[in-house]
């Protein structure tokens, strides 16, 4: 996923259909310098994870 789109999704009040390794996730915020995003699975909000933007897919 491109940085600009990840930032748009993170800032939007509308939920986007984004997956990480096939699992639906919520993008909490984006680190533009590192090219990563802090995410959590929709069904496990306590499981925060920092992942490369390249591994996120929008459907």
Segment 17-38, tens digit of pLDDT: 999 999 999 999 999 999 999 9
Query: What pLDDT band is residue 58 in, cutting at 50, 70 and 90?
Result: very high
Give percent of the chain above pLDDT 70.
100
Which position has the token pair 């993008």?
A: 27
List the helix and strand counts (H, then E) for the chain: 1, 5
Tell me whether residue 38 is exposed, middle or buried, using C-beta atoms within 10 angstroms of its C-beta: 0 to 12, 13 to 18, 19 or more.
Answer: middle
Cβ burial, residue 25 (10 Å; 0-12/13-18/19+) = buried
């Amino acid at each position: 996923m491109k940085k600009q789109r990840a930032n748009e999704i993170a800032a939007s009040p509308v939920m986007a259909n984004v997956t990480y390794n096939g699992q639906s996730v919520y993008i909490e915020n984006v680190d533009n310098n590192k090219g990563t995003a802090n995410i959590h699975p929709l069904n496990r909000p306590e499981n925060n994870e920092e992942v490369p933007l390249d591994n996120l897919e929008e459907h």
